[in-house]
Amino acid sequence: MNARRFDALIIGGGGAGLRAALQLARSDYKVAVVSKVFPTRSHTVSAQGGITAALGNVDDDRWEWHMYDTVKGGDWLGDQDAIEFMCREAASAVYELEHMGLPFSRLDNGKIYQRPFGGQSKNFGGAQATRTCAAADRTGHALLHTLYQQNIACRTQFFDEYFALDVLRDAEGYCLGVTAMSIETGEPLLIEARATLLATGGAGRVFGNSSNAMINTGDGLGMVLRAGLPLQDMEFWQFHPTGIAGVGCLITEGVRGEGGCLLNKHGERFMERYAPHAKDLAGRDVVARAIALEIAEGRGCGPRGDYVDLKLDHLGEKRIAEKLPGIRDLSIRFAGVDPVEKPIPVAPTAHYMMGGIPTNLHGQVVAPARFGPEEPVPGLYAVGECACVSVHGANRLGGNSLLDLIVFGRAAGGHMLEYLRDNPYPRPLPEHAAEASQARLARWDRPGSERAAAITDDLRRMMQTHAGVFRTDAVLREGLDKLTQLDDRLAHAGLQDTSRVFNTARIEALELENLIGVARATLVSAIHRTESRGAHTREDFPARDDEHWLRHTLYSREGDQMDAKPVRLKPLTVESIRPKERVY
């Protein structure tokens, strides 16, 4: 196998990977970024509404209020040290993006434009705050392109259209790099690095109806599971309230932030019943459950009653054209509706994975070890949606994901620099380090009776039915049985096309292996957590149970083992925000 060697290696060319790469590229170390798509095609590009930071450009604001909202939004499952760090660093991280050239929308006084988003408050739960910094409704696009441009300026080395296969570790647990494959030639490649960062994004494509790009297949999570490391809080998946009905494409929360509202078939603004105070701008889990209930109880719109209306025509054409041009475009194309005239048909769509690879606030991957519940895995980092640091807890607030990428991307890049200084020499690669990856590749050269694509379809349908907005033990267990059958079918699957050059069927088969790992982690963790918290709603356990479940879950592949670790309720410098009932 061909081999390359770098000081630092980043897997994933989205916002988190590129922000970390920039931190490293500005040093003298050799850095490479491996991405399975050209970086600006990463899913960060789809983020619409904005990035949250208490700049106070429109209204009074403080990072402490942002921190409170994030803790409450996450239903107290988030680690308060990491949340404090993120909210405190937010303003400087956003100013830094502006200095890099991000084309933020502007206020009349020339400052960065901010809009209200769900779950934002002033004074620790008081009136609505206005905290989300936006570049129209294309903030992710603007952010990703800006970071990519900065990386070109710094001459970061890119391996575009390379698919990462496995993390390599030695007997002492040090991460030594990864195996990958050139999608264009089909050639495997071993990339050695003293420090490796996983920034592989989410896995929303494990669900049938998802807002996510087709590339979001949890590749980093699969790599970590195969390396024998755990995943944290995998039962927590955010269903975004407003996906275009039947399609799944996202309609940003910014629509409601700008004044749009949700209506049922009677034209009733039903969120007033579910969240009398925050109404349409309650937490996403709250709004998604409300929509699902309206539909289930026969108050949905349309001939099949399977969606609700998102009304924004009262904002006027000028405001829509100025602040929500992308939304108007998406709505016309995918719903056949011009929102200037008519409401957009919307329903909840799988959107974001709160769980992921457990890390500390330097981005170091942590795992239970001899000396305690968590110790860093030397040389291995994770940032962004694939990681669980955990700032989003049981439910992420809108605008906090782009912030997570930037703040922890920067922090991880910085920590990797320190790690490289402290560990100046590459460690020897075990002799058969690449064998497992080679076996995985060879496995897809053998013919099989089953089509991988058919298994992927069935997997996504199963997860949609068995791990959706509302869950029960019976429904989840039935899903797990079906998953075991899918796993059996996977063993008999093969490719019709075993060619080398740009064989996307082979990539999809390798992605399926990762998705199956994500699905199993999700189902087992969801069965395990017998309470309702944030986005995890158990109909058979409808209440939050702090006594037993104010803790993180850890899933390991070996024997589907479940473990727990405490939630960090102690912030870095401020007072702890004690758990209380979460109402909007």
Partner 1 sequence: MKFRIYRYHPESGERPHMQDVGLDIDPAGKMLLDALLAIKAEDETLSLRRSCREGVCGSDAVNVNGKNRLACITPLTELKEPIEVRPLPGLPVIRDLIVDMEPFYKQYRSIKPWLINDEPEPEVERLQSPEDRARLDGAYECILCACCTTACPSYWWNPDTFVGPAGLLQAYRFIADSRDEATAARLDNLEDPYRLYRCRGIMSCVDACPKGLNPTEAIGRIKSLLVKRRV
Name the phi and psi angles at 202, rounded to 5: -85, -170
Sole binder of partner 1 in the list 43, 240, 284, 311 (CB under 8 A): 43
- Which residues are CB-contacts of 351 (< 8 A; sequence separation ≥ 6)? 204, 210, 211, 212, 237, 238, 239, 240, 243, 250, 284
Sole binder of partner 1 in the list 329, 445, 540, 545 (CB under 8 A): 329
Q: Any catalytic annotation for residue 477? A: no
| Piece of 58-66, 101-109, 254-262, 364-372 that binds partner 1 (CB under 8 A) | 101-109
Q: Which is nearer to partner 1, 504 or 576 (CB)?
A: 504
Q: Give the nearest distance from C-beta 192 to partner 1 in angstroms.
A: 26
Cβ atoms 39, 13 nearer than 8 A = yes
Among 19, 226, 284, 533, the active-site one is 284
Rounded Cα distance between 344 and 469, Å, is 21
Q: Which is nearer to partner 1, 3 or 153 (CB)?
A: 153
Q: Give the nearest distance from C-beta 101 to partner 1 in angstroms.
A: 3
Sole binder of partner 1 in the list 28, 110, 447, 543 (CB under 8 A): 110
Q: Give the nearest distance from C-beta 343 to partner 1 in angstroms.
A: 18
Q: Which is nearer to partner 1, 175 or 346 (CB)?
A: 346
Tell me the three state secondary structure of residue 24: helix
User: For 33-44, b where at least 16 C-beta lie within 10 A, e where not — what string?
Assistant: bbbbbebbbbbb
Rounded Cα distance between 417 and 427, Å, is 17
Binding mask 48-77 for partner 1 (x = CB under 8 A): -------x----------------------
Residue 164: name the closest of 214, 207, 226, 211 by CA: 226
Residue 384: name the closest of 347, 349, 410 by CA: 410
Rounded Cα distance between 199 and 192, Å, is 17
What string of DSSP letters covers 241-269?
A: EEEETTT--B--THHHHTT-EEE-TT---
Q: Give the nearest distance from C-beta 325 to partner 1 in angstroms.
A: 9
Sole binder of partner 1 in the list 104, 163, 270, 444 (CB under 8 A): 104
| Piece of 42-50, 276-284, 398-406, 555-563 that binds partner 1 (CB under 8 A) | 42-50
Q: Give the nearest distance from C-beta 127 to partner 1 in angstroms.
A: 24
Cβ atoms 358, 320 nearer than 8 A = no
Sole binder of partner 1 in the list 32, 215, 225, 347 (CB under 8 A): 215
Binding mask 387-426 for partner 1 (x = CB under 8 A): ----------------------------------------
Q: Which is nearer to partner 1, 114 or 238 (CB)?
A: 114
Q: Give the nearest distance from C-beta 99 to partner 1 in angstroms.
A: 5
Residue 214: name the closest of 416, 522, 511 by CA: 511
Q: Which is nearer to partner 1, 105 or 120 (CB)?
A: 105
Q: Give the nearest distance from C-beta 518 to partner 1 in angstroms.
A: 18
Q: Pull the structure tokens for residue 234.
A: 């995998």
List binders of partner 1 among 181-200 (CB under 8 A).
184
| Piece of 18-26, 330-338, 429-437, 483-491 that binds partner 1 (CB under 8 A) | 330-338
Binding mask 131-170 for partner 1 (x = CB under 8 A): ----x--x--xx--xx--xx-xx-----------------
Burial class of residue 240, CB neighbours in 10 A (0-12, 13-18, 19+)? buried
Residue 404: name the closest of 348, 352, 350 by CA: 352
Q: Which is nearer to partner 1, 37 or 87 (CB)?
A: 37
Helix ranges, 311-434 (H): 317-323, 325-330, 400-422
Helices 15-25, 400-422: crossing angle, 10 deg rounding:
40
Name the phi and psi angles at 154, rounded to 5: -90, 0
- Binding of partner 1 by 324 (CB under 8 A): no
Evaluate the CA torsion angle 247, 253, 256, 258 in order and state its sign.
negative
Residue 391: name the closest of 201, 146, 571 by CA: 571
- Binding of partner 1 by 101 (CB under 8 A): yes
Residue 357: name the closest of 505, 233, 463 by CA: 233
List binders of partner 1 among 238-297 (CB under 8 A).
246, 249
Sole binder of partner 1 in the list 5, 26, 58, 98 (CB under 8 A): 98
Q: Which is nearer to partner 1, 101 or 316 (CB)?
A: 101
Q: How far is CA 381 from the centre of its chain?
A: 16
Q: Which is nearer to partner 1, 53 or 391 (CB)?
A: 53
Sole binder of partner 1 in the list 4, 5, 30, 100 (CB under 8 A): 100
Name the phi and psi angles at 49, rounded to 5: -65, -40
Within 10 A of 60 (CB to CB), how many other CB atoms are there? 12
Rounded Cα distance between 245 and 360, Å, is 38
- Binding of partner 1 by 338 (CB under 8 A): no
Q: Give the nearest distance from C-beta 328 to partner 1 in angstroms.
A: 12
List binders of partner 1 among 459-518 (CB under 8 A).
495-497, 499-505
Q: Give the nearest distance from C-beta 403 to partner 1 in angstroms.
A: 16
Binding mask 428-457 for partner 1 (x = CB under 8 A): -----------------------x-x----
Rounded Cα distance between 140 and 41, Å, is 11
Sole binder of partner 1 in the list 1, 214, 369, 572 (CB under 8 A): 214
Binding site for partner 1 (CB under 8 A): 37-38, 40-43, 45-46, 55, 94-95, 98-101, 103-112, 135, 138, 141-142, 145-146, 149-150, 152-153, 184, 213-215, 246, 249, 326, 329-330, 333-334, 336, 451, 453, 495-497, 499-505
Active site residues: 284
